[in-house]
Amino acid sequence: MNFEVEKKEFLKGLSLIQSVAGRKTTLPILSHILLEWKEDSLYLTGTDLETAIREQLPATIHRDGKGSTSAKKLYEIVRELPDGTIHIEKKENHWMTLQCGKSVFNLAGLDPDEFPTMPSYREDFFSKILIKVVREMIGKSVFAASNEESRYHLNGVYFVQSKSAGREILRMVATDGHRLSLVDREGRLIRGLEKGIIIPKKGVMEIRKILEDRDGEGDMELYFDQSHGFFRMGKSLLVIRLIDGEFPEYDQVIPKGNDKKLVLEKEKVSGSLRRVSTMASDRVEGIRFSVKDNTLELSSYHQDFGDAREEVDVVYEGAPIEIGFNARYLIEALNVIDTAEVIMELKDEGSPGIIRPSSSTDPTDQLCIVMPMRI
């Protein structure tokens, strides 16, 4: 016997690694999980060469060692095992034997030394940050990142730190060229964020997943070097290869002269947008947005199905304005605003609109920009 581990712990670790292990099929070892057992811990590692996850689990170790086996198969097996202790023994030719209750599995393996080395990290470089701050900033930005592979420098979230009035401000920004989302939060100094880095969307999703059932009042630790981001949450370590590209000069995109200011009730306008967008054309999802005299009229037209129109009360007393928008972009922007009232700032039919929470005192505390479209 080499080591023993509890099923529940093992399953939790394996499930967190599933999404990265086996994502790349270029090398057989990448569909494997690396198991290393030493002192009083079992370490599970999976990687797709862009994101690597390492989980540390409590285990009873009888003899140090390591092995590798199919991440998917091991997960399927452990998921079906009854709660209890799992015994694992290393065999010849990189095989392992897993025994639990009356079940015995012989698992084919590869040489664990073939497993890609995880980038090494410096213990003293980590800074703490509240989990809820990271979760909130990701939630308010990542949806706007691009999914187009050709625009790889937009396939992630730009993360940067600056000083404002003596406070350290963390900022996340994402854009796909048609809309942009930006969020600022106060935080402590984080190593490597001075000049801004881009975390790929997939990596951001992994951070989110690992944070899912953690207590928001708790801390996580992180830092960045030239090429990687290092994230530590409890016994999980995540290393993400950063996107090597220039994030656009987003500051220039933020409109300055949007003098037509509407106050909207978020839930009401969201509902109207969802209804009217059912008749928007499939490809562009465009709707017409007309405002005058405290009334917003949303309308759409689909060449096969018909048309839709709805009025919503808003607060607006400026000159009438009519502008086309992608309905989904507006809905997604409203979704990440927490206040019941939302401010929308427009200029004219050819200029981007700004959406922000009504209570934001700092003009860049949070904002979404949506480009207009011809309808």
Instruction: Decide if residue 304 touches a copy of itself (CB under 8 A).
Output: yes
Contact 94, 123 (CB under 8 A): no
Instruction: Decide if residue 111 touches a copy of itself (CB under 8 A).
Output: no
State the minimum distance, in angstroms, from the CB of residue 65 to a copy of itself. Answer: 18
Contact 284, 326 (CB under 8 A): yes
Q: What angle do CA 105, 110, 112 make, to 5 degrees?
A: 110
Looking at 215, 311, 317, 341, which residue binds a copy of itself (CB under 8 A)? 311
What are the Cα distances from residue 333, in Å, to 181, 203, 346, 369? 8, 22, 15, 8
Instruction: Decide if residue 84 touches a copy of itself (CB under 8 A).
Output: no
Contact 330, 347 (CB under 8 A): no
Instruction: Decide if residue 29 touches a copy of itself (CB under 8 A).
Output: no
Piece of 76-84, 240-248, 316-324, 362-370 that binds a copy of itself (CB under 8 A): 76-84
Looking at 11, 30, 57, 77, which residue binds a copy of itself (CB under 8 A)? 77
181 or 270: whose CB is closer to a copy of itself?
270
255 or 271: whose CB is closer to a copy of itself?
271
State the minimum distance, in angstroms, from the CB of residue 56 to a copy of itself. Answer: 26
How are beta strands 286-292 and 321-326 bridged, if at all? Answer: antiparallel
Q: How many CB atoms lie within 10 A of CB 274?
A: 12
Instruction: Decide if residue 358 touches a copy of itself (CB under 8 A).
Output: no
What are the Cα distances from residue 372, in Å, to 287, 288, 308, 346? 10, 10, 19, 10
117 or 303: whose CB is closer to a copy of itself?
303
Looking at 26, 92, 102, 283, which residue binds a copy of itself (CB under 8 A)? 102
How are beta strands 366-370 and 179-186 bridged, if at all? Answer: antiparallel
State the minimum distance, in angstroms, from the CB of residue 303 to a copy of itself. Answer: 9
State the minimum distance, in angstroms, from the CB of residue 308 to a copy of itself. Answer: 5
Piece of 49-57, 97-105, 132-140, 237-245 that binds a copy of itself (CB under 8 A): 97-105
* Structure tokens, 164: 């404002």
Q: What is the DSSP letter of 315?
A: B
How are beta strands 60-61 and 3-6 bridged, if at all? Answer: antiparallel
> What CA–CA distance (Å, rounded) separates 211 from 203?
12
**One symbol per residue from 253 to 292: x for binding a copy of itself (CB under 8 A), - otherwise; what is it?**
------------------xx-xxx-xx-------------
Piece of 114-122, 155-163, 309-317, 358-366 that binds a copy of itself (CB under 8 A): 309-317
Instruction: Decide if residue 320 touches a copy of itself (CB under 8 A).
Output: no
> What CA–CA distance (Å, rounded) separates 174 from 199?
10
194 or 307: whose CB is closer to a copy of itself?
307
> Which strands sit side by side in the sheet containing 228-233, from one edge to the other?
65-70, 32-38, 41-47, 51-58, 236-241, 228-233, 219-224, 127-130
Residue with tokens 């409590």: 58
**One symbol per residue from 167 to 206: x for binding a copy of itself (CB under 8 A), - otherwise; what is it?**
----------------------------------------
Residues at the contact surface with a copy of itself, assessed by CB under 8 A: 69-70, 73, 76-77, 80-82, 95, 102-108, 271-272, 274-276, 278-279, 302, 304-312
